[in-house]
Chain A
């Protein structure tokens, strides 16, 4: 039986586009159904899953909903109902993938609905506001949603719009076909124990060495980019699913970025999920001494700081001593709550490829301030282990792996 692709749309506005998508998807041999998540106007055409059905599933009373004339207040009703519907289809094994077409409101609702489905179910949003600053982050969050920019306004079928939609239909069908070939692994039941590890460009040599060492020992390493979303996704996955044997938090810079309001901020609960769920962890301060404020938010005093231009878009500034102490403090607070073994390893020769011993950016007195504060604040049983090497060396990677075996009791 071929699986179903659900098309999410506000049918009072963009039904034509959704119906074109439906035809394109069906022409490729998949079944498709339009789910009307519309708010106020009448649907422009036939929807396999009607607005009434969605409202019923939301658990709200139809008469009560009929009285809501405020679009914004109808949105949660439709999102709740649609989530019920797609989860039900998923639990019956019927959903192959999900796709939405919309502007700001439609994409916001559509992606909220998609985020309720597990990792690995193909999720695709076509949006006229995909490229507006900050919108992608809001739409995708930590989930595996694919976002396509429609470029033109989604307002009627014309040859440009048809081109965009037929490519989107091709993409979702291709994705659904893939996910049938490579099914979503049953997490926690994979053959090799999974280790989560955070990554950051300037700490990549270390990450590669650690991964090679662990893979030789029969572990599989899942990397998360410490760019503020990936590391948050790691926390979310650990919070929700027990799949990781242990965590190597090589690059916990998102904690300081969060405290200082910088661009790689990883949320207030970063560094907490592993401890809370009893997952053993080894921490290193990879890149923690660097900050990445948005360039538009540079303060005058930043011109006095040491700055590293990493590529055309990204520059990093060294944190001040006070900031280093503040970050150490926050990290100690979080780790002190951990319910599983924790070790914190400090490379004395620099904390990333940017500030190796011998470079201008190597400032051991600042690093020392961080370490002293950390030792002062951490619980007695949490070891801070200093390693006389720089973070990017094989020696440090080996030390990390050794500490990992210790916390895992392996």
Chain B
């Protein structure tokens, strides 16, 4: 039987001592280590199991030529590609227990790129001098653990030894504690959002009654992207996409607008049954009143905390209807759109600030006109946060799952 090992990624020209120390500390705890050298500048301070030239070759480069060329940014790109390829080989051979990487700015960029290329559930620990900054580009939508190095990682001293020992302990503890995340026949993904509907909360017990488990994604930009990626990993039996609000924020680069181009599209593309609702399509949310563009001023408005929600218009919802139609085109599995007629969020219901059923009706009519024939649309005369709505969504998804199998 193949024994799984921990992949240890670092630039051995600058962090060789730390890598050697980490290796020793991990091995003392009974785990094998494979070191991978992504250094591009000097000579490695210690030998690597996967040396620089092998990594460069896997990345489509030639190490000796790269050194001559001396283009740092090019070299880093090649080494990143190569390290990803090598990690993928180990993973596909079932030899990868987890990834530990160590680095400053460049090392963190390479190390986390390797981690982001691996599926959810594989332990990923990054010891980084830049952990306490904006890590959204490094961590992104992935289950990466960042250990802040506090001091610079140049040589062993009483402070770095504490950090490195913590890292060795963390990865070994994680690897020992980790079970592979397998596609679970009964796992359902749902979206939720602070100010919008509580549909996901209401759906949870209903799904559990039917033997499903529910995983919630906070549809705040990052959550929506993570949802799409994990649908693409094939983890979910079905999706209840209650909150599609991110799409309207994207129009104005609002609070939850950083969602990429795949939002809403993956389930249909992969054939995972999905029920979609217009949760939060009633409003565009901005970080503060100062961020509201001039052209939206004068519309119905709701102050949440410092964030503000502005009512969406017919024009915007027509664009959203087109987006729905495009992203749900040629679905490989069942897709349903379920629209409540009495409002789409806590601030969009009878008596609330953003309630406007005529705009909602305009959106529904456009959807009917634009949606591909394979996608069915149902209207429900209730509010999105009503139990009735959650029940219909759960039942519809359940039917889809059974008929699709």
List residues of chain A with CB under 8 Å of any chain B CB: 24, 28, 103, 119-120, 122, 124, 128-134, 136-137, 140-153, 155-156, 158-161, 163-164, 166-179, 181-182, 184-185, 187, 190, 194, 197-199, 201, 204, 207-208, 211, 215, 220-225, 227-230, 233-234, 263, 309-314
Q: CB-defined interface of B113-146 with A at 8 Å, one 1/0 digit per residue?
A: 0000000110101000111111111011111111
A155-B216, A170-B172, A313-B109 are known contacts; what are 19 more A-B pairs with Cβ within 8 Å? A122-B169, A131-B135, A132-B220, A132-B222, A133-B134, A140-B131, A142-B132, A163-B181, A166-B178, A169-B177, A170-B178, A175-B166, A178-B168, A194-B157, A194-B158, A208-B14, A224-B152, A227-B133, A313-B105
Knowing A141-B132, A224-B152, A225-B130 are in contact, say whether A156-B142 is a contact too (CB < 8 A).
Answer: no
B153 contacts A163, C-beta separation under 8 Å: no
Shortest C-beta distance, B186 to chain A (Å), equals 9
Is B66 at the interface (CB under 8 A from chain A)? no
Tell whether B154 is near chain A: CB-to-CB under 8 Å.
yes
With most chain B CB atoms within 10 A of its CB, the pick from A141, A194, A204, A228 is A204
Residue of B nearest to A309 (CB): B73
**In the complex, what residue of chain B is closest to A141 when comparing beta carbons?**
B132
Contact, CB under 8 Å: B141 / A179: no
Check B216 against A152 for contact (C-beta < 8 Å).
Answer: yes
- Expressed in whole angstroms, the Cα–Cα distance for A242 and B214 within the complex equals 52
What's the nearest-Cβ distance from chain B to residue A10, in Å?
Answer: 15
Sorted from nearest, which 10 A-B pairs have the closest CB atoms? A174-B173, A170-B177, A223-B152, A174-B169, A170-B173, A178-B169, A185-B158, A140-B132, A225-B129, A153-B216
Closest chain-A Cβ to B166's Cβ sits at a distance in Å of 5
Interface residue B251 (Cβ < 8 Å from any Cβ of A): no
- Looking at the assembled complex, report how far the CB atom of B193 sits from the nearest CB atom of chain A, in whole angstroms: 10
Which residues of chain B come closer than 8 Å to A142, judged between CB atoms?
132, 150
- Interface positions, chain B 206-243, Cβ under 8 Å from A, are 213-218, 220-223, 226, 230, 235
Tell me the complex Cα distance, A225–B214, Å: 42
On whether the beta carbons of B73 and A199 are closer than 8 Å, the reply is: no
Tell me the nearest residue of chain B to A161, going by C-beta: B215
Q: Output the least CB separation between A101 and chain B (Å).
A: 13
CB distance B134 to A136 under 8 Å? yes
Q: Which residue of A lies closest to B214 (CB)?
A: A158
A176 to B163, CA, bound (A): 12
Q: Does B159 lie at the interface of the complex (its beta carbon under 8 Å from any beta carbon of A)? A: yes
Question: Are A227 and B172 in contact, CB atoms less than 8 angstroms apart?
Answer: no
Q: Provide the residues of chain A in CB contact with B223, threshold 8 Å.
A: 128, 153
With A130-B135, A170-B178 as known contacts, state yes or no: A227 contacts B165, CB within 8 Å.
no
Q: How far is the CB of A235 from chain B (nearest CB, A)?
A: 12
Q: Is the CB–CB distance between A204 and B14 below 8 Å?
A: yes
A-B contact pairs, 26 of them (CB 8 A): A133-B136, A142-B132, A146-B148, A148-B145, A150-B143, A151-B142, A151-B226, A152-B215, A153-B192, A158-B215, A159-B187, A166-B177, A167-B143, A167-B173, A171-B169, A174-B172, A175-B166, A198-B152, A201-B105, A207-B154, A211-B154, A222-B160, A229-B148, A311-B105, A311-B106, A312-B73
Which residues of A are found within 8 Å of B160, using beta-carbon distances? Answer: 222
Whether B104 is near chain A, meaning CB under 8 Å from some CB there, is yes
- Give complex CA distance A229, B165 in Å: 21
Given contacts A136-B131, A182-B162, contact A163 B170 (CB under 8 A): no
Residues of B within 8 A of A156 (CB): 204, 214, 216
Closest to B168 in A: A178
Can you name the residue of chain B whose Cβ is closest to the Cβ of A174? B173
In the complex, A225 Cα to B160 Cα: how many Å? 13
How near does chain A come to B215, taking the closest CB pair, in angstroms?
5
Complex Cα gap A160–B17 (Å): 36
Bits for B240-263, please: 1 = Cβ < 8 Å to A, else 0.
000000000000000000000000
Q: How many residues of B contact A (CB 8 A)?
A: 83
In the complex, A309→B71 CA distance in Å?
A: 10
Query: What is the distance, in angstroms, from A324's C-beta to the closest C-beta of chain B?
Result: 24
Q: Are A167 and B158 in contact (CB under 8 A)?
A: no
Residues of A within 8 A of B187 (CB): 158-160
Residue of B nearest to A225 (CB): B129
Set of chain B residues within 8 Å of A129, measured between Cβ atoms = 222
Report yes or no: A164 in contact with B143, Cβ–Cβ below 8 A.
yes
B175 at interface, CB cutoff 8 A: yes
| B104 & A174 in contact (Cβ 8 Å cutoff) | no
Residues of A within 8 A of B165 (CB): 178-179, 181-182
Q: Is B184 an interface residue when CB atoms closer than 8 A count as contact?
A: yes
The answer to whether A223 and B154 touch (CB under 8 A), given A149-B139, A175-B170, is: yes
In the complex the two chains form, is A170's CB within 8 Å of B134's CB? no
User: Which B residues lie within 8 Å of A173 (CB)?
Assistant: 169, 173
Verify if B2 is at the interface (C-beta below 8 Å from A): no
How distant is B125 from chain A, measured CB to nearest CB, in Å? 7
Is B1's CB within 8 Å of the partner chain A?
A: no
Most chain B C-beta atoms within 10 Å of own C-beta, residue among A133, A145, A160:
A160
> In whole angstroms, how far apart are the Cα atoms of A177 and B213 in the complex?
34
B162/A229 in contact, CB under 8 A: no
Complex alpha-carbon distance, A143 and B149, angstroms = 9
Contacts of A263 in B (CB 8 A): 133
Name which residue of chain A comes closest to B129, CB basis: A225
Set of chain A residues within 8 Å of B159, measured between Cβ atoms = 119, 185, 222
A198 CA / B173 CA spacing, docked (Å): 32
Contact A172 to B173, CB < 8 A, known contacts A153-B223, A167-B123, A201-B106: yes
Residue of A nearest to B182 (CB): A159
* Known A-B contacts A130-B146, A144-B150; A137 and B132 likewise in contact (beta carbons under 8 Å): yes
